Amino acid sequence: MLPPVIEPLFRLLWRTCPIETVEGRSHLEAALADDGAIIPCYWHQQQLFCARYLIEEARQRDNLTLAWLVSPSNDGNMASRLLEKEGVVPIRGSAARGGAQAMRELYLAVRRQGLSPVITPDGPKGPVFQSKSGVIGIAKLTGAPLLPLAAGMASGMELRSWDRFQLPRPGSRMSIVIGEPLDIARDTDETMLATAARELDERLNRASDRARELAGRSKT
């Protein structure tokens, strides 16, 4: 989730950087066709505008209620309050500490509450652009489809952080690309789970390249 200490900067960018293009909306419609939960996912790098897009989309829909995994810490308390203001349900838990408990909370959020948990597959600490097994496992257990998203910026910078966090300049054009949903069958074995993780990587990377292209920015 976005660090609450820099919320004012992020809100400034949300106000001044228009999302001019959204490609692949039909994939979102297909994923929501059964009125069930989905698992939106995007690289940790791109969370600023992917999160903004999803929050705005959920506000316009009765069949999409988002949830975010939030650290059980003081910072997490602040993040929870911010999420609730945006109509998002916070789920308290940590993927880095007590990951099994976090998995359980995500599972219950989907199966019992019908929530759609938003996940960064390479978070919380990388390796960058490599999906961890947890997101695939949640999709397998719940039957909810993974929905890859990406954000592109016309101008801005990538920070020297582990995730190469994407920070657009104020006024930069933004684009969103939604990829084809990825279903994980309940009988998927360990070998196929690893294959599914690599497939998710590829879909996220393709969406990222396309989002960058739509925003008018060359691949770096």
CB 191 within 8 A of CB 131: no
The answer to whether 136 touches 196, Cβ cutoff 8 Å, is yes
CATH code for the domain in which residue 46 is found: 3.40.1130.10
Is residue 76 very low, low, confident or very high in pLDDT (cuts 50, 70, 90)? low
Range scoring the smallest mean pLDDT among 28-42, 72-86, 178-192 = 72-86
**How does residue 35 score in pLDDT terms, banded at 50, 70 and 90?**
confident
User: Side-chain half-sphere of 112: how many Cα atoms within 13 Å?
Assistant: 6
Q: Are strands 166-168 and 156-158 parallel, antiparallel or unpaired?
A: antiparallel
- pTM of the entire predicted model: 0.91
Structural domain contains residue 11: no
* CB of 133 closer than 8 Å to CB of 198: no
* Residue 11 scores a pLDDT above 90: no
- Say if residue 109's pLDDT is above 90: yes
State how far the Cα of 57 lies from the Cα of 60, in Å rounded to an integer.
Answer: 5
Question: Could you tell me where the beta strands, DSSP code E, fall in 71-121?
Answer: 89-92, 116-118
Residue 130 lies in a domain: yes
User: Does residue 75 form part of some domain?
Assistant: yes
Please, which residues have CB within 8 angstroms of residue 125's CB and are 6 or more apart in sequence? 96, 162
> Which residue type does 180 have?
E
N-terminal to C-terminal alpha carbon distance within the chain? 25
The answer to whether position 84 is within a domain reads yes
Domain hosting residue 100, numbered range: 20-215
SS3 per residue for 153-176 = ECCEEECCCCCCCEEECCCCCEEE
Mean pLDDT of the chain: 90
- The model's confidence at residue 220, banded by pLDDT at 50, 70 and 90, is very low
In a domain, 14, yes or no: no
Categorize the per-residue pLDDT at 132 as very low, low, confident or very high, splitting at 50, 70 and 90. Answer: very high
Has residue 4 got a pLDDT over 60? no
Q: What is the Cα–Cα distance from 173 to 153, expressed in whole angstroms?
A: 6
Q: Would 1 be classed as within a structural domain?
A: no
Residue 210: the pLDDT is: 98
Is the pLDDT at 96 greater than 90, yes or no?
A: no
Q: State mean pLDDT over 27-56.
A: 94
Amino acid letter, residue 99: G
Q: What percent of the chain lies above the pLDDT cut of 90?
A: 70
SS3 content of the chain, % helix, strand, coil (to 5): 45, 20, 35
With respect to residue 116, please indicate whether it lies within any of the assigned structural domains: yes
Name the domain count of the chain. Answer: 1
Does residue 9 lie within any of the structural domains? no
CB atoms within 10 A of CB 86: 15
DSSP state, residue 189: -
